[in-house]
């Protein structure tokens, strides 16, 4: 065994890994760093382990593990001292000389292989150089389990790797195990979302991953995200410390980190709550209120306000049907309190949906009670039908001129709008237009001219005075918006030619960081999608398979064994997910959607 240790220790990479500075213990035996000379940039190196790697029949009671280094160290992140299988409470530690003594508050199980991972946990005492990591393997029985599985954990929407996710294996295949029991093996993912569950038993498991917010190694559906593998998992690879998958790499070493093989991909999602009830309510104005539900797709049988005629009530759900806006279509002063009654399907104490009528008291907001003592106290919205009219140069061709009123309209006159344009010679023309009410927002309208927009032209949409009346009895002010298409010669464009489209898909153009959608389309047939007016840079194409054809990306459900709707990023021939678009370039990209999603 000593020979094995002498082989392993020199192989530790001397690298610097940035770790989170969560908690720090002081050590009585510290040394004062010498003044002058070069700064210490070398991380600590292990010089002694007790027990030695691979030790069997380790005592279960009052078990202690000791890691000694070549210099004084401190524990930078106690949460990164991770024992697998995990106990109810996290490992405890104290500093002893140049080492770290790890202990446990409860006994270990009998005849079980354990791993203690110390990656991103320990740094030297003076400069904070992080120890790259190590996994100490030992057993309370007479043998060491030798199997392993690898994989990555990623966000279901961005497909970005998730650091610090807990990957868990269960020999208990019951759906309730992840809620009630700690796993039979677990490990944390690294910066690349990569994991290797090593020295596990050769048997069949259920595999999950969670973002363990309270570090209890149990899944709590109301507050945590989860991922799962559809089928049972049985390891096929045997541990060998020379394998790249078992090495502790510098996370900046892209080549080696990406070269590691992964057997499984887990996509983390947040489940929709299954328990249905009203969780929030507020009256936000004289005639406006809202209620929100815990779970989506609330089933409302009827809704009414005492003293308000039913034909005076306007309601609107959001797209997920978990938030309902309510307006009273009556300009007269409303009572200080609305008594709102909602008859809906509510989850009872047995977890079943049953019809229930709930009365909600909605008090008028205090700011609404403040008297207007002078003309300067009166705001525009106190006397005017407030709206916004927006047209962005880069997207006006696709999205049109967007009209949105603060309150629902009771009178409209969209035929009174004026759409005109000036050509480059400053000659003026008028043109007809179409108006469409948004299917999800009754206060929103889209105006589109019946003419193709051209570079170098100036386009104007004018809204005349007192043509629109809202539920407050107020009329609009006049306004005019002007828009011209971008004319920067350095701008570029890309067209996506989609073929073999046999389902409904959501196609998004994202920026390089994948944190902003620049333009979006929904398609259900072969199409050519233009993405004009792009600055030089790198972009990603995200395509989501909209299985239930509702126009949104649906999440998964663990108990129903339903994965989130499949999201893929278009990959170039060189393996990159980023399309590099130079200046003044028109690109065309062919995508076989069926091949991509096969």
Contact at 8 Å (CB) between 490 and 533? no
Q: Of 2, 556, 456, which Cα lies nearest the Cα of 226? A: 556
Task: Give every CB contact of residue 349 below 8 A, 6+ residues apart in sequence.
Answer: none
Task: Give every CB contact of residue 528 below 8 A, 6+ residues apart in sequence.
Answer: 495, 496, 497, 498
Element (H, E) at 177: helix 177-180
Contact at 8 Å (CB) between 47 and 68? yes
Q: Tell me the Cα Rg of the chain.
A: 31
Contact at 8 Å (CB) between 466 and 282? no
Strand residues in 107-190 grouped as ranges (E) = 113-117, 122-124, 135-139, 147-155, 166-170, 185-188
DSSP conformation letters of 239-269: --TTSGGGS---TT-HHHHHHS--SEEEEEB
Contact at 8 Å (CB) between 390 and 445? no
Domains in the chain, start-ordered, CATH in brackets?
Answer: 1-144 (2.60.40.3710), 278-369 (2.60.40), 380-483 (2.60.40.1220), 492-596 (2.60.40.10)
CA distance 133 to 69: 12
Strand residues in 158-221 grouped as ranges (E) = 166-170, 185-188, 194-200, 206-210
CA distance 544 to 522: 10
SS3 69: strand
What's the token pair of residue 513? 């960081």
pLDDT digits (tens, 9 = 90+) for 545-591: 999 888 888 999 999 999 999 999 999 988 889 999 999 999 999 99
Sign, Cα dihedral of 217, 221, 225, 230: positive
What's the token pair of residue 62? 């009052």
Q: For tokens 């593998």, name the residue.
A: 229
Contact at 8 Å (CB) between 206 and 538? no
- Which residues make beta-bridge pairs with 355? 345
Contact at 8 Å (CB) between 136 and 115? yes
CA distance 422 to 486: 15
Q: Of 232, 214, 231, 234, which Cα lies nearest the Cα of 223? A: 214
DSSP 61: T
pLDDT digits (tens, 9 = 90+) for 179-209: 999 999 999 999 999 999 999 999 999 999 9
Q: Of 63, 188, 69, 202, which Cα lies nearest the Cα of 124? A: 69
Backbone angles phi, psi at 62, to 5 degrees: 50, 45
What does pTM read for this prediction?
0.81
Mark residue 466 as left, alpha or beta (left: phi above 0; alpha: psi -120 to 50; beta: remaining).
Answer: left
DSSP conformation letters of 295-359: SSS--EEEEEETTS-GGGEEEEE-TTSSEEEEEE---SPPPSEEEEEEEEEEE-TTS-EEEEEEE
DSSP 55: B
CB neighbours (10 Å) of residue 268? Answer: 22
What's the token pair of residue 574? 């060189």
What is the model's pLDDT at position 40? 73
Q: Within the chain, which residues score under 70 in pLDDT?
A: 1-38, 367-378, 380
Q: Of 195, 332, 172, which Cα lies nearest the Cα of 265? A: 195
CA distance 34 to 23: 25
Q: Of 415, 525, 407, which Cα lies nearest the Cα of 463? A: 415
CB neighbours (10 Å) of residue 170? Answer: 19
CA distance 408 to 410: 7
CA distance 72 to 128: 10
Largest Cα–Cα distance in the chain? 92
What is the model's pLDDT at position 469? 97
b/e code 446-455 from CB counts within 10 Å (16+ = b): ebbbeeebee
Element (H, E) at 178: helix 177-180
CA distance 428 to 419: 11
Task: Give every CB contact of residue 370 below 8 A, 6+ residues apart in sequence.
Answer: none
What is the model's pLDDT at position 378? 60
Contact at 8 Å (CB) between 266 and 309? no
Q: How are beta strands 147-155 and 194-200 bridged, if at all?
A: antiparallel
Task: Give every CB contact of residue 490 below 8 A, 6+ residues apart in sequence.
Answer: 535, 536, 583, 584
């Amino acid at each position: 065994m000593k020979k094995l240790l002498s082989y392993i220790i020199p192989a530790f990479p001397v690298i610097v890994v940035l770790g989170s500075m969560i908690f720090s213990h002081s050590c009585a035996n510290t040394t004062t760093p010498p003044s002058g000379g070069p700064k210490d940039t070398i991380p600590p190196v292990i010089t002694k382990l007790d027990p030695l790697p691979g030790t069997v029949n380790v005592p279960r009671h009052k078990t202690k593990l000791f890691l000694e280094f070549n210099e004084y160290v401190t524990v930078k992140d106690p949460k990164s001292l991770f024992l697998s299988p995990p106990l109810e409470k996290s490992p405890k530690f104290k500093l002893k000389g140049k080492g770290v003594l790890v202990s446990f508050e409860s006994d270990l199980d009998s005849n079980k292989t354990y791993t203690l991972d110390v990656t991103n946990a320990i740094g030297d005492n003076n400069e904070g150089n992080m120890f790259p990591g190590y996994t100490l393997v030992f057993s309370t029985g007479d043998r060491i389990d030798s199997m392993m599985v690898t994989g990555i954990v990623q966000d279901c929407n961005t497909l970005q790797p998730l650091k610090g996710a807990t990957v868990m294996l269960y020999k208990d295949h019951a759906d309730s195990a992840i809620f009630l029991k700690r796993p039979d093996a677990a490990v944390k993912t690294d910066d690349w979302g990569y994991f290797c569950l090593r020295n596990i038993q050769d048997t069949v498991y259920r595999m999950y991953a969670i973002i363990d917010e309270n570090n209890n190694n149990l899944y709590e559906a109301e507050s945590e995200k989860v991922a799962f593998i559809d089928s049972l998992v049985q390891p096929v690879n045997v541990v060998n410390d020379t394998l790249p998958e078992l090495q502790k790499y510098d996370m900046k070493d892209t080549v080696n980190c990406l070269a590691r093989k992964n057997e499984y991909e887990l996509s983390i999602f947040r489940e929709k709550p299954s328990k249905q009830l009203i969780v929030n309510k507020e009256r936000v104005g004289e005639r406006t209120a809202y209620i929100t539900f815990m779970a989506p797709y609330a089933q409302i049988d009827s809704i009414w306000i005492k003293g308000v005629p039913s034909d005076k009530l306007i309601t609107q759900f959001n797209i997920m049907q978990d938030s309902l806006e309510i307006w009273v279509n009556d300009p007269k002063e409303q009572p200080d309190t609305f008594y709102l009654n909602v008859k809906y399907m509510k989850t009872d104490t047995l977890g079943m949906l049953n019809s229930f009528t709930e009365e909600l008291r909605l008090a008028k907001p205090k700011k609404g009670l403040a008297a207007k003592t002078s003309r300067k106290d009166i705001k525009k919205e106190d006397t005017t039908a407030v709206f916004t009219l927006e047209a962005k140069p880069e997207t006006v061709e696709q999205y049109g001129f967007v009209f949105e009123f603060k309150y629902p309209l009771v009178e409209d006159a969209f035929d009174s709008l004026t759409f005109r344009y000036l050509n480059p010679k400053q000659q003026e023309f008028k043109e007809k237009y179409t108006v469409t009410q948004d299917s999800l927002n009754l206060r929103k309208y889209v105006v589109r001219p019946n003419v193709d927009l051209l570079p170098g032209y100036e386009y104007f949409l004018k809204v005349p005075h007192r043509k629109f009346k809202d539920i407050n009895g107020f009329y609009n002010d006049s306004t005019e918006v002007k828009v011209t298409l971008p004319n920067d010669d350095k701008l570029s464009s890309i067209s996506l030619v989609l073929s073999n489209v046999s389902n409904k898909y959501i196609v998004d153009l994202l920026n390089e960081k994948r944190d902003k959608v620049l333009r979006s389309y929904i398609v259900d047939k072969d199409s050519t999608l233009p993405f004009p007016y792009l600055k030089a840079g790198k972009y990603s194409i995200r395509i989501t398979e909209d299985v239930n054809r509702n126009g949104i990306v649906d999440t998964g459900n663990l108990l129903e064994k339903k994965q989130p709707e499949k999201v893929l990023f278009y990959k170039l021939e060189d393996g990159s997910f980023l399309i590099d678009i130079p200046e003044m370039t028109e690109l065309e990209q062919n995508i076989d959607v069926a091949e991509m999603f096969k």
